[in-house]
Structure formats: C-alpha cells, structure tokens
Amino acid sequence: MQVRLAARVHAGAPGPQGKKLQTQIDSGKGRMKSDNCRRRVVVTGIGLVSPVGIGIEENWSNLISGKSGIGPITRFDCSAYGSKIAGEVKNFHPEEFISKKELRKMDPFLRFALGAAHYAMEDAGFKIAPEISTRVGVVMGCGLGGLLTIEESLKQIIESGPKKVSPFFIPMIISNMAPGLISIYHGAKGPNLSLQTACAAGTHAVGQAYHLIRNGFVEAMITGGVESTITTLAVAGFNAMRALSTRNDDPQHASRPFDKERNGFILSEGSGVLIVEELNFARARGAKIYAEVIGFGASGDAYHMAAPAPEVEGAARCMQMALDDAGVNPRDVQYINAHGTSTELNDKYETQAIKTVFGDHAYKLAVSSTKSMTGHLLGAAGGVEAAYTALTLHNQIMPPTINYEYPDPDCDLDYVPNVAREAAIDIALSNSFGFGGTNGTLVFKRWSGE
C-alpha cells in the first residue's frame, strides 16, 4: 500500500518557527532566505536493510557486537562457483508496506530501496505534505540495477519466447527507478536523481543531496544507496575477476579488511537511506538530529578500470577535498569508516592515502571497516556506511573491524580490531572508492544541539 501524504509539514503541531517556514513555502518564493549563503545540513532519519539486520536497532546492535552477516549462498546452486558465500538480507518483509500486486513489478533492488526509505522516513517522523513536495527530492546510488530480472527474463525468452517477458521489464531493471519509486511512494517532487558510480554511488548520492540542500535548491532529501546482485551472473563475473574471497568453509571469518590473510571481498546486498534536511527546516518540524553533514569530496584516479591507483593521489585528494569543503583541519578528525573491502590492494592503498592526508595524525586516528561484518554492498555500501558513521557519532561508539588477526606491515593503523570502542568523536569521515577510479568521501560532525 502506498504511503499516504500527510496534511501537514510534520506529525507535531508547528511552533512559531514552523509557521514561518510554512508561510515562506506557501507563498511560492522559491528558495528560502538564509542568514548564511552556505546552509547547514543534518541527518534526521536512517533506514537500513543489510546482511546484519533490518532497521537501526538490529543493525547497530549486531555491528557493535561484531556479528557477521556472511553465510553460504542460498539463492541458487553455487557448487560450480569459486566463491560460495555472500551477505544475504534475511527477514525482510516488504509486503508490510508494499502490496503484493506492486511487489510483482519490482526487482529485489527496488524492494530494498523502498524498504530502507520507508524505515528512514518513519524514523525521521517525516511525511511530505503537498505544499512542500517540490522542496523535497530523492537521490540514490546503485551499481548494477535489476540484474536478477535481466537473468530471469533472458531465461524466459530462451525457454518460452519473447512474449513471456513482463511489460514491466524495463522499469524493473533501470537504476533510476529506485529514486523514482521512492518519490512516488512518498510524494517527493523535488530533484529526482540516480547515480551509477559503482561502489562509490551511495556516497556520491549523499554528497549530491548535501550540496542541493546547502546551496538552497531544496529543504530535504531522501538519499543513499541500494544493490541486489547475489545472482548467477554477478557472482560468476566477480569470480572471473578473482575479486571474491574463497574462504567458503568459514564464511563469518572471510571478510577481514586490513588483515594479512585477506583474500577477496564478500558480495552483499541491501540498502542504506538517510533523510537529510536543512537545519532550520528540521528544527521547525521538531526533528531529532543524529549528526551534521559538513563536507563532501569526489575525485577520479584516471588510472585503471578496476584497480586502485598505486600512487593513491586520487583517494588522498578526495579526502583532502572533503576536509577542505568542511573547513576541517585533518588533526581534528578522530574516526574514519573506511572503504576497507578486504582485498589486497584496496586496503593497502587506502591506508597509504590516509597517511598521505593525515601525516603523523594517521596513527592517532581510529579506522574501521564495517564491511568486515556486512560484506561489500557495492552501490549500496556508501549509503549504509554513511548511516553507520552518523550512528557512530550519535552513540560515540566506534564499530570494530572484526577478523583482524594477522597484522599486515602495509596496513599499520589503528583499525579498531575485533571489539567496538567507546570514544569521544567530534569529526568522522566515510570513504568509498569504485571501479573506474571513482572516489567519494563524506565528512560528518557530532551534533551537540548548537
């Protein structure tokens, strides 16, 4: 069942500030005036569908407990495949908010996107009234789109001919249908965008949403990443690249970022969605705030289709751009949620890039990879990890890098090994690096109520 639009800006009755906000929007003035040319952007809602759980509470509890979501692949017979393990989403029930008729028209990646958006909007207590709908947009990142639907439809053509292909085939597979459906279900009529930048897509989406709000184009955005690629083609393709771990006899210890015994990443699926709002807009509707987004950087390696650049210039420049955008001194950063894929070159070069940017301070930083528990969600990774970074600041607890047993001389930073850590964290980064040499970094700040 589609989410019904609310009659008011927010669930509670608006105070004086909320009435002023509503008056500005109703009067059709377009961009709202601000005392500062650069407006502040805050995270007010989080929605998660991941291998370690559904929703905030289950995700966070499992994350800080160091619980892995990796197991044997159950979706298809993978006996002929080199890697037989993945991070599958369990216990997700989209029929609770999507009708069975509509579900039949959706590839799993669309269900995940709608699910995470539903949970995020619910968490934010945000219902989009018609009078503000043009000031709320959606931007989502995705890597491969409806791959399962492509595989199944090709099989139908081979076995029964082209007439058996669903008339919804095209809408089911295109990546931009994720933000499209989210906007339809929630009535968001602002910018509606889809980014396909591989494993950096979710981070780039959140960064784009941040800039749209900061520069006055919108007041709020639904943003993040989504992916569903635990399919025969995707697993075969990544196996052919020798990118996946083959630690099939011990799946929960297979994802081991920065550990010397790492031998590939774990393919995973899911979605992470954030509600980000202009600060005064959020305050006017009485929203809770998890963290503030204060910087974004994006760069390209211009080096290789799949391998990270050994000079680490692109990744380092991306982090430095994000810090410059935030106006933050590197020494003021306490924590980085690393891309940390559990592949030999990525972990080594990301470590080098961090040391390039932070110098001696790199050894005082805490760096952890939540992919040690979730696996690699590809286009969804940046959205999920942005959510985890906001929760890290909100709860003042750093998630661990589990399965860290054998130190690698090339990876010699503090990776929060195996056990979560309470700490005072004011500034945190979230890194994402993708095929094609595309890089993204977000900077978050602890919200202290100022």
186 catalytic, yes or no?
no
* Contact status, residue 58 vs residue 91, Cβ threshold 8 Å: no
CB–CB of 222/121 below 8 Å?
yes
Whether the Cβ atoms of residue 275 and residue 43 lie closer than 8 Å to each other: yes
| Farthest-apart Cα atoms in the chain, separation | 65
Q: How far apart are CA 435 and CA 312, in angstroms?
A: 14
**Angle subtended by helix axes 177-186 and 108-124, to nearest 10:** 40
DSSP string, 267-315: BB-EEEEEEEEEHHHHHHTT----EEEEEEEEEE--S-SSSPPTT-HHH
Verify whether residue 118 is a known catalytic residue. no
**Neighbour count for residue 358 (Cβ, 10 Å):** 23
Query: Which residue bears the tokens 């994402």?
Result: 432
Report strand pairing: 53-54 vs 41-50. Answer: antiparallel
Q: Which entry of 10, 78, 142, 199 is annotated as an active-site residue?
A: 199
> Nearest 5°: CA angle at 305, between 302 and 309?
50
- Which residue among the candidates 204, 376, 394, 411 is catalytic per the annotation? 376
Give CA–CA dist 15/284, Å, rounded: 7
Q: Given 10, 118, 204, 339, which residue is catalytic?
A: 339
Mind telling me the catalytic residues?
Answer: 199, 339, 376
